[in-house]
Amino acid sequence: MKDLMGKAVWDYFHNENPEDLQTETSISELDELPVDYLFRDFEDMNGIEQKALELAHGKVLDIGAGAGSHALYLQNESNLDVLALDISPKCIEVCQMRGIKKAVCENVLDFSGETFDTVLLLMNGTGIFESLEKIDTYLQKLHTLINDNGQILIDSTDILYMFDRDEDGGVYIPAGGYYGELDYIVHYKGESENPIKWLYLDYTTLKNAAENNGFTIEKVMQDEDSYLAKLTKK
Protein backbone atom coordinates (compact mmCIF):
# COMPACT_ATOMS: atom_id res chain seq x y z
CA MET A 1 0.00 0.00 0.00
CA LYS A 2 1.42 3.38 -1.05
CA ASP A 3 -0.59 5.14 1.67
CA LEU A 4 -1.40 8.09 -0.58
CA MET A 5 -4.16 9.29 1.74
CA GLY A 6 -1.63 9.27 4.56
CA LYS A 7 0.91 11.15 2.43
CA ALA A 8 -1.62 13.87 1.69
CA VAL A 9 -2.55 14.15 5.37
CA TRP A 10 1.14 14.27 6.31
CA ASP A 11 1.96 16.92 3.68
CA TYR A 12 -0.94 19.12 4.77
CA PHE A 13 -0.12 18.88 8.46
CA HIS A 14 3.57 19.69 7.85
CA ASN A 15 2.79 22.27 5.14
CA GLU A 16 4.92 20.37 2.63
CA ASN A 17 3.27 21.44 -0.64
CA PRO A 18 0.04 19.50 -0.13
CA GLU A 19 -2.22 18.93 -3.11
CA ASP A 20 -5.84 17.85 -3.24
CA LEU A 21 -6.48 14.14 -3.45
CA GLN A 22 -8.31 12.72 -6.43
CA THR A 23 -10.64 9.77 -6.06
CA GLU A 24 -12.64 7.67 -8.48
CA THR A 25 -14.75 4.55 -8.38
CA SER A 26 -15.76 1.90 -10.86
CA ILE A 27 -18.99 3.85 -11.54
CA SER A 28 -17.84 7.48 -11.20
CA GLU A 29 -15.36 9.89 -12.74
CA LEU A 30 -12.37 11.54 -11.05
CA ASP A 31 -13.42 13.74 -8.15
CA GLU A 32 -11.39 16.22 -6.11
CA LEU A 33 -11.09 15.60 -2.37
CA PRO A 34 -9.61 18.73 -0.74
CA VAL A 35 -7.14 17.49 1.86
CA ASP A 36 -8.15 20.25 4.29
CA TYR A 37 -11.57 18.57 4.43
CA LEU A 38 -9.94 15.77 6.44
CA PHE A 39 -8.96 18.36 9.08
CA ARG A 40 -12.38 19.99 9.44
CA ASP A 41 -13.85 21.16 12.74
CA PHE A 42 -17.16 19.99 14.18
CA GLU A 43 -18.94 23.02 12.68
CA ASP A 44 -17.85 21.96 9.18
CA MET A 45 -18.93 18.31 9.52
CA ASN A 46 -22.17 17.12 7.99
CA GLY A 47 -25.28 16.46 10.06
CA ILE A 48 -24.74 12.71 10.22
CA GLU A 49 -21.21 13.11 11.57
CA GLN A 50 -22.35 15.68 14.12
CA LYS A 51 -25.21 13.45 15.28
CA ALA A 52 -22.86 10.46 15.68
CA LEU A 53 -20.39 12.49 17.74
CA GLU A 54 -23.23 13.75 19.94
CA LEU A 55 -24.38 10.16 20.55
CA ALA A 56 -20.89 8.83 21.34
CA HIS A 57 -20.30 8.04 25.00
CA GLY A 58 -17.94 6.18 27.29
CA LYS A 59 -14.84 4.55 25.90
CA VAL A 60 -14.72 5.11 22.12
CA LEU A 61 -13.03 3.34 19.20
CA ASP A 62 -12.84 5.46 16.03
CA ILE A 63 -12.28 3.06 13.12
CA GLY A 64 -10.85 4.62 9.98
CA ALA A 65 -9.80 7.67 11.95
CA GLY A 66 -7.93 9.35 9.08
CA ALA A 67 -6.46 12.66 10.21
CA GLY A 68 -8.25 12.23 13.53
CA SER A 69 -10.87 14.99 13.41
CA HIS A 70 -13.65 12.89 14.96
CA ALA A 71 -11.40 11.41 17.63
CA LEU A 72 -9.91 14.79 18.47
CA TYR A 73 -13.33 16.35 18.98
CA LEU A 74 -14.49 13.53 21.26
CA GLN A 75 -11.25 13.60 23.26
CA ASN A 76 -10.95 17.37 23.65
CA GLU A 77 -14.53 18.63 23.58
CA SER A 78 -16.50 15.67 24.99
CA ASN A 79 -13.72 14.55 27.35
CA LEU A 80 -14.06 10.92 26.28
CA ASP A 81 -11.46 8.15 26.31
CA VAL A 82 -10.85 7.66 22.57
CA LEU A 83 -8.67 5.29 20.56
CA ALA A 84 -8.07 6.23 16.90
CA LEU A 85 -7.55 3.23 14.59
CA ASP A 86 -6.43 3.36 10.96
CA ILE A 87 -4.43 1.22 8.53
CA SER A 88 -2.48 4.30 7.36
CA PRO A 89 0.83 4.70 9.24
CA LYS A 90 1.15 8.37 8.30
CA CYS A 91 -2.43 9.15 9.32
CA ILE A 92 -1.79 7.61 12.73
CA GLU A 93 1.43 9.60 13.11
CA VAL A 94 -0.48 12.79 12.34
CA CYS A 95 -3.21 11.78 14.81
CA GLN A 96 -0.53 11.51 17.47
CA MET A 97 1.03 14.84 16.48
CA ARG A 98 -2.38 16.50 16.68
CA GLY A 99 -2.58 15.37 20.29
CA ILE A 100 -4.68 12.22 20.17
CA LYS A 101 -3.48 10.25 23.18
CA LYS A 102 -4.29 6.78 21.83
CA ALA A 103 -3.73 6.02 18.14
CA VAL A 104 -3.02 2.60 16.65
CA CYS A 105 -2.07 1.58 13.11
CA GLU A 106 -3.80 -1.75 12.54
CA ASN A 107 -6.51 -3.42 10.49
CA VAL A 108 -9.68 -3.73 12.56
CA LEU A 109 -9.81 -7.48 11.84
CA ASP A 110 -6.43 -7.85 13.59
CA PHE A 111 -7.26 -5.51 16.48
CA SER A 112 -8.16 -7.10 19.82
CA GLY A 113 -7.70 -6.93 23.55
CA GLU A 114 -10.11 -4.10 24.35
CA THR A 115 -13.85 -3.49 24.31
CA PHE A 116 -15.66 -0.19 23.94
CA ASP A 117 -18.90 1.58 24.78
CA THR A 118 -19.01 3.26 21.37
CA VAL A 119 -17.49 2.19 18.05
CA LEU A 120 -17.54 4.82 15.31
CA LEU A 121 -17.41 4.10 11.57
CA LEU A 122 -18.02 7.34 9.69
CA MET A 123 -17.56 8.76 6.18
CA ASN A 124 -19.28 5.73 4.65
CA GLY A 125 -18.34 3.45 7.51
CA THR A 126 -19.65 0.38 5.69
CA GLY A 127 -16.90 0.90 3.12
CA ILE A 128 -14.42 -1.18 5.10
CA PHE A 129 -16.68 -4.23 4.78
CA GLU A 130 -15.37 -4.48 1.20
CA SER A 131 -18.16 -6.68 -0.19
CA LEU A 132 -21.36 -8.46 0.77
CA GLU A 133 -19.34 -11.65 0.93
CA LYS A 134 -17.23 -10.26 3.79
CA ILE A 135 -19.85 -8.32 5.72
CA ASP A 136 -20.48 -11.16 8.20
CA THR A 137 -16.76 -11.36 9.01
CA TYR A 138 -16.62 -7.65 9.84
CA LEU A 139 -19.88 -7.57 11.79
CA GLN A 140 -18.83 -10.58 13.88
CA LYS A 141 -15.54 -8.82 14.62
CA LEU A 142 -17.34 -5.62 15.60
CA HIS A 143 -19.59 -7.68 17.89
CA THR A 144 -16.51 -8.66 19.91
CA LEU A 145 -15.34 -5.04 20.24
CA ILE A 146 -18.34 -3.55 22.03
CA ASN A 147 -19.40 -4.00 25.64
CA ASP A 148 -22.74 -5.64 26.38
CA ASN A 149 -24.44 -2.24 26.53
CA GLY A 150 -22.23 -0.75 23.84
CA GLN A 151 -23.18 0.75 20.49
CA ILE A 152 -21.83 0.90 16.95
CA LEU A 153 -22.56 4.12 15.06
CA ILE A 154 -22.11 3.62 11.33
CA ASP A 155 -23.12 5.56 8.24
CA SER A 156 -23.53 4.77 4.57
CA THR A 157 -25.28 5.89 1.40
CA ASP A 158 -27.70 4.07 -0.87
CA ILE A 159 -26.08 4.80 -4.24
CA LEU A 160 -28.99 3.55 -6.33
CA TYR A 161 -29.46 7.17 -7.43
CA MET A 162 -26.17 6.96 -9.39
CA PHE A 163 -27.61 4.47 -11.88
CA ASP A 164 -29.63 5.32 -14.99
CA ARG A 165 -33.41 5.02 -14.98
CA ASP A 166 -35.77 4.19 -17.82
CA GLU A 167 -38.97 6.06 -18.66
CA ASP A 168 -40.98 3.93 -16.24
CA GLY A 169 -38.64 4.63 -13.34
CA GLY A 170 -36.85 1.28 -13.47
CA VAL A 171 -33.14 1.33 -12.69
CA TYR A 172 -30.43 -0.14 -14.91
CA ILE A 173 -28.18 -2.05 -12.50
CA PRO A 174 -25.22 -4.08 -13.78
CA ALA A 175 -25.68 -7.81 -13.38
CA GLY A 176 -23.25 -9.97 -11.45
CA GLY A 177 -23.15 -8.41 -8.01
CA TYR A 178 -24.61 -5.98 -5.51
CA TYR A 179 -24.73 -2.45 -6.91
CA GLY A 180 -23.00 -0.98 -3.84
CA GLU A 181 -19.81 -3.01 -4.34
CA LEU A 182 -17.28 -0.67 -5.92
CA ASP A 183 -13.60 -0.40 -6.72
CA TYR A 184 -12.21 2.76 -5.09
CA ILE A 185 -8.99 4.39 -6.31
CA VAL A 186 -7.00 7.24 -4.73
CA HIS A 187 -4.60 9.45 -6.69
CA TYR A 188 -2.09 11.91 -5.21
CA LYS A 189 0.76 13.88 -6.77
CA GLY A 190 0.85 11.74 -9.88
CA GLU A 191 0.72 8.43 -8.05
CA SER A 192 -2.19 6.00 -7.94
CA GLU A 193 -3.12 3.52 -5.25
CA ASN A 194 -4.17 0.03 -6.27
CA PRO A 195 -7.98 -0.24 -6.33
CA ILE A 196 -9.56 -1.28 -3.04
CA LYS A 197 -12.96 -2.88 -2.57
CA TRP A 198 -15.40 -0.40 -1.01
CA LEU A 199 -18.99 -1.12 -0.01
CA TYR A 200 -21.95 1.25 0.01
CA LEU A 201 -25.00 -0.31 1.67
CA ASP A 202 -28.67 0.51 1.49
CA TYR A 203 -30.25 0.45 4.94
CA THR A 204 -32.35 -2.69 4.41
CA THR A 205 -29.30 -4.73 3.39
CA LEU A 206 -27.35 -3.50 6.42
CA LYS A 207 -30.34 -4.22 8.67
CA ASN A 208 -30.64 -7.80 7.46
CA ALA A 209 -26.91 -8.44 7.85
CA ALA A 210 -26.80 -6.85 11.30
CA GLU A 211 -29.75 -8.88 12.59
CA ASN A 212 -28.19 -12.06 11.21
CA ASN A 213 -25.04 -11.34 13.23
CA GLY A 214 -26.52 -10.75 16.67
CA PHE A 215 -27.37 -7.05 16.50
CA THR A 216 -30.44 -4.93 16.95
CA ILE A 217 -30.35 -1.98 14.54
CA GLU A 218 -32.02 1.40 14.50
CA LYS A 219 -31.89 4.12 11.86
CA VAL A 220 -30.95 7.22 13.83
CA MET A 221 -30.92 9.74 11.00
CA GLN A 222 -31.63 10.01 7.28
CA ASP A 223 -30.14 12.76 5.10
CA GLU A 224 -31.25 12.38 1.48
CA ASP A 225 -29.68 9.06 0.35
CA SER A 226 -27.35 8.77 3.36
CA TYR A 227 -28.17 7.50 6.83
CA LEU A 228 -26.73 6.90 10.29
CA ALA A 229 -27.48 3.59 12.01
CA LYS A 230 -26.98 2.43 15.59
CA LEU A 231 -26.22 -1.24 16.24
CA THR A 232 -26.48 -2.79 19.71
CA LYS A 233 -26.15 -6.37 20.90
CA LYS A 234 -29.37 -8.41 21.04
Give pLDDT, residue 40.
Answer: 97
Size of the chain in residues:
234
CA distances (Å), 146 to each of 119, 120, 127, 141, 156, in order? 7, 11, 19, 10, 20
Give pLDDT, residue 162.
Answer: 83
Give pLDDT, residue 59.
Answer: 98
**What average pLDDT is seen over the chain?**
95
pLDDT in tens, 78-124: 999 999 999 999 999 999 999 999 999 999 999 999 999 999 999 99
175 pLDDT more than 80: no
Give pLDDT, residue 166.
Answer: 61
Residue 91: exposed, middle, or buried by beta-carbon count in 10 A (0-12, 13-18, 19+)?
buried
Give pLDDT, residue 177.
Answer: 79
pLDDT in tens, 130-153: 999 999 999 999 999 999 999 999
Q: How far apart are the first and last CA of the chain?
A: 37
Q: How many Å apart are CA 135 and CA 212, to the nearest integer?
A: 11
How many percent of the chain have pLDDT more than 70?
Answer: 94
Which helix H or strand E contains 75, and what residues bound it?
helix 69-76
Q: How many Å apart are CA 104 and CA 197, to the nearest integer?
A: 22
* pTM, rounded to two decimals: 0.94
What is the rounded average pLDDT of the residues 21-38? 94
User: What CATH number does the domain located at 4-161+171-233 have?
Assistant: 3.40.50.150
SS3 172: coil
Give pLDDT, residue 14.
Answer: 98
CA-CA-CA-CA torsion sign (96, 114, 38, 132) = positive
pLDDT in tens, 33-63: 999 999 999 999 999 999 999 999 999 999 9
Question: What single string gives the DSSP state of each residue in 135-156?
Answer: HHHHHHHHHHHEEEEEEEEEEE
Give pLDDT, residue 1.
Answer: 79
For residue 69, what pLDDT band results from cuts at 50, 70 and 90? very high
Residue ranges covered by each domain of the chain: 4-161+171-233
Give pLDDT, residue 194.
Answer: 96
Q: How many Å apart are CA 38 and CA 216, to the nearest integer?
A: 31
Q: Which residue has the higher pLDDT, 161 or 141?
A: 141
For residue 172, what pLDDT band results from cuts at 50, 70 and 90? low
Give pLDDT, residue 163.
Answer: 75
